[in-house]
Amino acid sequence: MVRRMKTITGLEGLREAEGETLGTSDWHEVTQDDINAFADVTGDHQWIHVDPERAKDTPFGGTIAHGYFTLSLAPRFTEQVMKLDGFAMAINYGLNKVRFPSPVPVGAKVRLGAKLLSVEDVTGGAQGTVEMTFEVEGAAKPSCVAEVIFRYYV
């Protein structure tokens, strides 16, 4: 997949982009320091994430990122896959569905592909549902697939 970015201008541009792939982010390497920092912020210090020695004896062969860590990369990647013009603001509204089909091992590179599934009018703007697929370089299955809902206000 070649990285590209979609520029969406105003509500009409958003409606026109419905059904389109918005873009693909750059690869981002996940480090043990990243995972440890996430564990500190969330209080989730489960050993499979933070204990490299113990995790060596698992089927993963080492520590893996929290699923929510992977999902938390969405804002970083979203800025790389789409640009908004003609909106006063955009906010996260929620999620319809999130799945974590495969792990993200420490040292792996992950990136995001995004597709605008649907657009609905709401008071003051529109609501868009974006399918976000997080993939690990060389993995057979994505590490996370999520339907993320945004509200775009003019």
Residues 87-119 pLDDT 10s: 999 999 999 999 999 999 999 999 999 999 999
∠ CA 42-44-50, nearest 5°, is 120
Q: What is the pTM of this model?
A: 0.93
Percent of all residues in the chain with a pLDDT value above 90, rounded to a whole number: 97
All structural domains of the chain = 6-28+69-153 (3.10.129.10)
Instruction: Give pLDDT tens digits for 32-61.
Output: 999 999 999 999 999 999 999 999 999 999
Res 137: pLDDT: 98
Q: Residue 8: its pLDDT value, please?
A: 96
User: What Å distances lie between residue 103 and 52, 83, 135, 139, 150, CA to CA?
Assistant: 15, 29, 10, 9, 26
Distances (CA, A) of 101 to 8, 10, 19, 93, 117: 30, 35, 23, 24, 20
Measured in degrees and rounded to the nearest 5, phi and psi for residue 53 equal -65, -50
Q: How many CB atoms lie within 10 A of CB 67?
A: 16
Q: Given pLDDT bands bounded at 50, 70 and 90, which one contains residue 5? A: confident
